[in-house]
Amino acid sequence: MKELLLKRKAKFIQYLIATFMFIIDHFFQTIVFALIFGAIEKGDIQYFKKVAIITIIFIIYSPLNFLISRMLRIRYMRDTILDVRKQAFDKIINMPFKQFSQKSKEVYISNLINDVNNFENKFFVNLLNFLINVGMFVLSLLILLIFDYKLAIGMFLFSIVLYFLASMFSKKTAELEKDISDSSEKFTTDISNTFNGLEILKLNNIEDKFLKKSMGAINRLEKRKYMSSVFTHMQRDVIYILAFVISVAVLVYVSFEFQRGMNLTEASLIFMLCSSISNYLISAFPNWNQVKASMEIYDKIAKPEESSVKIGVGTKNFDFGNRIEVSDLSFSFGDKPIISNASFTIEKGKKYLIKGVSGAGKTTLLNLLAMVHDDFSGSITVDGMDYREISEKSFHEKVAFIYQDVFLFEDTIKNNITLYRDIPDERINYAVKVSGLEPLLEEKKDGINERLSENGKNLSGGQRQRISIARAIAKNAEILFIDEGTSSLNEELGREIEKTFLSLDSTVIAVSHRYYEGVTENYDYVIEIKNGHVHTFPARDYFEEVITW
């Protein structure tokens, strides 16, 4: 909390000043009421006029004080919440992909939206009220000490009792806030899955079942919110009952003192000070519990997590000069071995095709080379540097990926190709040409600046794939990873795209089940996976043997 609040020290001091202005306002209000009671007791019209003037001044001062105080607070609150949103987003964006993929993306969306909004709505409101209530408590106790030190000591001891009572509620408050956060994540995930699969649901007439499931998720979330609200009010009610008992006791005490000669102004002030002390404590402790619970949510969404990820978290730059060497590489999914003791070399500029039957581990091997999986034994080195020492960010700056499943942003075709990087127009035009995108751009009114719908839903599968291919070519990456890159293209275009891959200066590592006669043989090597074992063959020898067989 200290780090978050003191990031802008000057603005935080202004925030504290604004809080102090609230405290003074509340204190003046108490004094004004005491003076009014005193004026009634005296029955002096001149004294009453003076009190009336003071009251009018306070009525004018109070809204001005509120406006100035709010202006001092609001910018600091806005900037701090912006910091929280930025930290939450940075945490996700800078997370190693392996770590990111351990959770559903909807969980991160819930963190960025639901949890940040929950923090925004509860943290500053409760922090402000806590500071005001504690400030008024301290000020009221000091003034009470001047008028009646015995009563002040009694109220201080009472506050200690309330503090320990409120501490008993603290842990449960934090647990309930975490339950709300977890339920929001589950709800967001369920709703996202329902919307993503809505077409399938409608085609199979099972919308009602998923509606029932979604309603269940909503009910669970609302139940958690209800329980949190009830518990918060229960805290206040328990403390309020004790405070009410103390207020009655103080009223009896003041009544006796009034009979002994205390004037009505002093009696009213003492009673209101004691009542204020009780009321401020009623709010202060639940406020503080909510602040602590909000900070736990902040830590969850903004603080870096400990990770077991072993690859992509290094500090060295990826520098591919000559070769990538794989030595005694083994990898399993659970108890199922996929790759066993594989050793081979990837030479810079060469073209490699990974082959094998369905389920043999082709994509797995591609992902191992692409730094997606980290829980392997053996080693993968680039020019002698272990993959585990390399920064994921530097690796991704020099490689490109073409997958069977393509993701497109709801933006222009150009931005989907460049991914918002500053790429020369000639390279973009080259990527458009060799990827076969020119016919698509000729159809569109705005050409390359045509805006796509969500994930390119206004395009065919082949057109979406071509944008993905153009994206990789425009990047001019040193290594191009391709997983079934031509699977959604027709024979003619697939053949042309395959020729393009093979003509690039980049190192190409591809997985494909398709064979284009006269083209596929032009790969330099075939990496075959068979029963978990990996063998490398010159491509022409491999295909001559396969075709002969």
| Domains of the chain with CATH codes | 2-302 (1.20.1560.10), 323-548 (3.40.50.300)
Which pLDDT score, from 0 to 100, does residue 369 have? 93
Which pLDDT score, from 0 to 100, does residue 549 have? 46
Please report which residue ranges of 370-490 form alpha helices under DSSP H. 392-397, 413-418, 425-434, 438-443, 461-475
| Helix and strand numbers, DSSP H then E, in the chain | 18, 10
* Order of all β-strands in the sheet with 323-333: 336-347, 323-333, 377-382, 385-386
Residues 387-407 have pLDDT tens digits of 888 888 888 888 998 887 788
> Which residue matches tokens 């000591």?
153
What are the 10-residue block averages of pLDDT along the chain, 549 residues in total? 75 80 76 77 79 86 81 81 83 71 74 81 80 79 82 81 73 77 76 69 67 74 80 73 77 80 76 73 74 81 70 80 93 88 94 91 91 87 91 88 82 89 90 87 89 81 83 88 82 83 89 89 93 91 68
The count of C-alpha atoms lying within 13 angstroms of the C-alpha of 487, restricted to the half-sphere facing its C-beta, is: 13
CA angle 139, 285, 220 (to 5 degrees): 150
How far from 77 is each of 5, 305, 482, CA to CA, in Å?
10, 26, 47
pTM of the entire predicted model: 0.61
Which pLDDT score, from 0 to 100, does residue 511 have? 92
Q: How many residues does the chain have?
A: 549
DSSP β-ladder status, 507-511 and 351-355: parallel
The count of C-alpha atoms lying within 13 angstroms of the C-alpha of 242, restricted to the half-sphere facing its C-beta, is: 20
Residue 536: both structure tokens together: 């490398």
Residue 336: both structure tokens together: 């199922």
Which pLDDT score, from 0 to 100, does residue 125 have? 79
Which pLDDT score, from 0 to 100, does residue 479 have? 93
- For 513, counting Cβ atoms within 10 Å of its Cβ (0-12 exposed, 13-18 middle, 19+ buried), the class is exposed
> Which residue matches tokens 């969850």?
300
Q: Give Cα 398 distance to the centre of its chain.
A: 27
How far from 529 is each of 229, 481, 526, 537, CA to CA, in Å?
58, 17, 10, 11
Residue 522: both structure tokens together: 């032009």
Residue 288: both structure tokens together: 């503080």
Give the bridge partners for 85, in sequence order: none
Residue 393: both structure tokens together: 């960010």
d(CA 501, CA 482): 9
Residue 229's SS3 state is helix
d(CA 450, CA 444): 6
Amino acid, single-letter form, for residue 247: S
d(CA 215, CA 202): 18
Which pLDDT score, from 0 to 100, does residue 313 have? 67
Q: Give Cα 236 distance to the centre of its chain.
A: 32
Which pLDDT score, from 0 to 100, does residue 457 have? 79
48 CB contacts (<8 Å, ≥6 apart)? 39, 42
